[in-house]
Structure 1
Amino acid sequence: MTKRTSTSRTLPWFARPGARTWRCDAVPAEVRAFHTTLPDYAPTPLTELPALAAEFGVGRVVVKDESSRLGLPAFKALGASWAVQRVLDDRAAGGAAPGPVTLVTATDGNHGRAVARMARLLGQQAHVFVPRGVHPAAVAAIVAEEVEVTEVPGPYDEAVRLAAEEAAVPDAVLVQDTAWPGYERIPGWIVEGYSTLCAEIDEQLTAAGVVGGPDLVAVPVGVGSLAQAVIAHYRSRPSGHAPALLSVEPEAAACVLESLTRGEPVSVTTGDTTMAGLNCGTPSSIAWPYLHGGLDAAVAVTDADSARAAEDLAAFGVSSGPCGAATLAGLRAALTGEGAEERRTALGLGPASVVVLLSTEGTAANPRSATDH
């Protein structure tokens, strides 16, 4: 069902009862084992912020800080590394001729840089398509990985289309973090790679004395791949405590919230947003069943909401770009203003609840976080 409430404006909000009883298959255990073999692997910090817990009237608020992951300023390296390794292993097992392959992708910044980094480390080539609106410094960071970069005058979906066309030649492979009918295997591997982040959270919460896991996890959403990984992790448990899961998007690109509201995946026309990595108009086809089944709620926030959240996190010592700070902005939108008690009830939150915010990028991943407040 859809819940629409308002403070000075209508809050874009959706809530669905019963999501915590939805179940799916678990992610392969070997994903985490693979990541631990990488030279730069280490669990990213889980930082507790008591001031936010007091603000929102819950027991604990912790932030999973992905500002430094495998040598890059965002979580995307988890998915890219696992997927690229699976691509190369699959080609070798299939008898492909030896020699470099060109890894092709479209990106708003972080995913493309992660694919480019893996290509360079493994002696492969890469071609990255970048849509309009991506900050020049983010484009320069991809170029610095010594790969081919094509800047596209259209939006993200157009960059994906061009990347797919470019990869339709021998010795080229599309490594895209969104899926559509007929292209789902590699995006599935990328989603599997993200699961390491959730496994770390479980271990870190246990070490911090939290029994039974979190009560709410807030995740930023573009096409929904990270959210799919989070849902798969927490909804694959046959029994026990199941947390509420909240997705957060920019109001300028709320394709998941609109799809949930309509009950089917739809594309939306995106606008400009400082949350460039979330500026996506179409949910991933493989993510949609998970989003539809396993999300308790979805909310969309403004650039101003995200900027305020990034400033707050910076004051607490957490480096977070606009996309990463979106989860704090989403939690604040859900738990304040007119209708907040109804939304709090939908999320199952009480004074002892443990809330996890996924901050998926540092300020270095998106220079707008430092300049466009």
Structure 2
Amino acid sequence: MNTADFRYTTNDRAREENAGKTPVRFIDRERAAKVRNFHRSFAEYEPTPLHSLNDLSRKLNVGGIWIKDESHRFGLNAFKVLGGSYAVGKYLAERLKLDISELDFGKLQSGEIKERLGELTFVTATDGNHGRGIVWAANRLRQKSVVFMPKGSSAARLHNIRKEGAEASITELNYDDTVKMAARYAADHHGVLVQDTAWEGYEEIPIWIMQGYCTLIHEAIEQLRGEGQSCPTHVFLQAGVGSFAASVLGYLVAEFGEERPVTIIVEPNEAACIYKSAVKNDGNPHAVTGDLRTIMAGLACGEPSTVAWEILRDYADMYISCPDAVSAKAMRMLGNPLPGDPRVVSGESGAVGLGVLSLIREEQSLQEVAQRLKLNEESRVLIISTEGDTDPEGYRDIVWGG
């Protein structure tokens, strides 16, 4: 594969300047356990699989590769519902003046709680997976939801959102402007904006969403320990606005401190706002503008979440921007595995971490990257496939058509 469009920058200060620093203020072991207990109260809850790719590990000459497969999450084919459902639960707990630990999902669905809360409308902007999670939770709580999607969004993802009972539409705007539209609509219609990105003056709900994502990494570490693995040495995390990546990294900082895995943030070239912010190296988040054209729809975001950026800036070890072909290759690798490995159906935004790992290990021109990361035959690598084929037609176009 041509690596000319593969870009990276390192954060050489992440380990030195933050040694002994207080971990992320809103993510810790106690909060993660509370979040997971909330998710356990869902009838659909069970940990998603952690697949070990032993044959691929040997081919890429690393000590191990584990794929956390979020296509099994609550029957929704993506991880996003973890954040959305927890944020909705936290919001309702606040309205009821209760702690979230006093409310399981079954209790929130009761007629008594609905009567106390009255009619609510949850509003969000999404490329598909986040919005579907919000709508799924709102529908089960017998509340309304309104969803706005950016131009170019998949018709299949729109259909899945409407199928859950939402009022949903595709706009003529890019993702970031669609977020602004959703915020205006919520303000004008007395709705509750549940957005997975933060900006000045809007941080509480995005923090709740990030806390909700902790369930998946809490599960993954538990599953690794069950296999006799104490901790991965490397974690590849894909980023859109950065909330998912920052959530996982924040958990790893809280759990392992200075012994945490080397963490690599991965984005598509056309929407690499975290990479751009890291390259600017002034400590501030920087936006990418334009149409944000990429097959990785879940990562097609131009403006970093302010809360997420602070974590990624302070604790990530490397930031990578790559072409779409990297993700497409990994989708085919996971869908057509080596004989001894399990098959994983991973969508465009879910597979890119494995694509980057394979490039670094196989391309001679990227050996400097491997050396900087200390990525070698002893490395134990965790990758999170955040979605399955949430756009089945698009998945087939990539996997069949190349």
TM-score range, shorter chain: over 0.9
1:13 aligns with 2:8: yes
Superposition deviation, residue 335 in structure 1? 3.1
In structure 2, the partner of 1:67 is 71
Distance 1:267 1:156 in 2: 12
How much does 1:271 deviate?
2.9
Question: TM-score, length-normalised on structure 1?
Answer: 0.93
1:265 maps to which of 285, 289, 297? 285
Q: Specify whether residues 254 and 106 from structure 1 end up closer, same or farther in structure 2 by C-alpha distance, changes over 3 A only.
A: same
Q: Which residue of 2 aligns with 1:332?
A: 358
**Secondary structure, counterpart of 2:96 in structure 1:** helix
- CA deviation map 1:39-63 (0-9, x unaligned): 1011000101123212322100010
Query: How many residue pairs were aligned?
Result: 367
- Picking from 231, 254, 257, the partner of 2:272 is 254
Shift, 1:302, TM fit: 1.7
C-alpha separation between the residues in 1 aligned to 2:383 and 2:38? 25
> Helix, strand or coil: the match of 2:117?
coil
1:280 matched to 2:298: no
Q: How does 1:205-354 map to 2 (within 5 A)?
A: 205-210=224-229, 212-237=230-255, 239=257, 241-263=259-281, 264-269=284-289, 270-316=291-337, 317-354=343-380
Deviation of residue 37 (structure 1)?
1.1
Is the contact between residue 74 and residue 365 of structure 1 (CA under 8 Å) also seen in structure 2?
Answer: no
Pairing of 1:81-160 with structure 2 (within 5 A): 81-93=85-97, 98-160=117-179
> How far apart, CA to CA, are the structure 2 residues paired with 1:180 and 1:331?
32
Give 3-state SS (helix, strand or coil) of 1:236's partner. helix
| Partner Cα distance (2:131, 2:210) in 1 | 15
Contact 2:174 2:292 in 1 (8 A): no
Task: Note the residue ranges of structure 2 that are not aligned, 5 or more in a row.
Answer: 99-114, 338-342
Asked if the contact 1:110/1:365 (under 8 Å) is kept, the reply is: no
For 1:71 and 1:7, locate their aligned partners in 2 and report how far apart those are by CA, in whole Å.
37
Alpha-carbon contact 2:124-2:147 (below 8 Å) kept: yes
1:339 is displaced (CA, Å) by 4.4
How far has the Cα of 1:132 moved from its partner?
0.7
**Where in structure 1 do 4 or more consecutive aligned residues deviate above 4 Å?**
none
Residue from 163, 187, 194 that aligns with 2:213: 194
Q: Kindly state the Cα deviation for residue 8 of structure 1 after the two structures are TM-superposed.
A: 5.0
User: Structure 1: how far apart are the matches of 2:303 and 2:165?
Assistant: 30
Partner SS state of residue 210, structure 2: helix
Matched-pair contact (CA < 8 Å) for 1:107–1:128? yes
How far did residue 20 of structure 1 move?
4.2
Q: Structure 2 counterpart of 1:49, which letter? A: L
Structure-1 separation of matches of 2:186 and 2:356: 36
- Pairwise CA distance, 1:88: 1.1
Do 1:322 and 1:366's aligned partners in 2 also have CA atoms closer than 8 Å? no
Match of 2:214, SS state, is: helix
State the shift of 1:115 in Å: 0.3
Q: Which string of whole-angstrom CA distances, capped at 9 and with x for unpartnered residues, describes residues 58-86 of structure 1? A: 10001000111012100001101100001
Deviations 1:235-293 (A, max 9, x none): 12465621011111111111111111112311112431111110000110100110101
Q: 1:260 aligns to what SS in structure 2? A: helix
Aligned-residue Cα RMSD (Å) equals: 2.0
Residue 301 of structure 1 contacts residue 329 of structure 1 at CA under 8 Å; is this kept in 2? no
Give the helix-richer structure, 1 or 2: 2
Paired with 1:173 and 1:239, the residues of 2 have a C-alpha distance of: 36
1:182: Cα distance to partner? 0.3
In the alignment, the residues of structure 1 paired with residue 5 and residue 88 of structure 2 have an alpha-carbon distance, to the nearest angstrom, of: 42
Match of 1:129, SS state, is strand
- Consecutive unaligned residues in structure 1, runs of 5 or more: 1-5
Per-residue displacement from partner, 1:84-119 (whole Å, max 9, x unpaired)? 00111112229x973121000000000000000001
Given the alignment of the two structures, is residue 165 of structure 1 paired with residue 184 of structure 2, yes or no? yes
**More off after superposition, 278-287 vs 258-267:** 258-267
Matched with 1:363 is 389
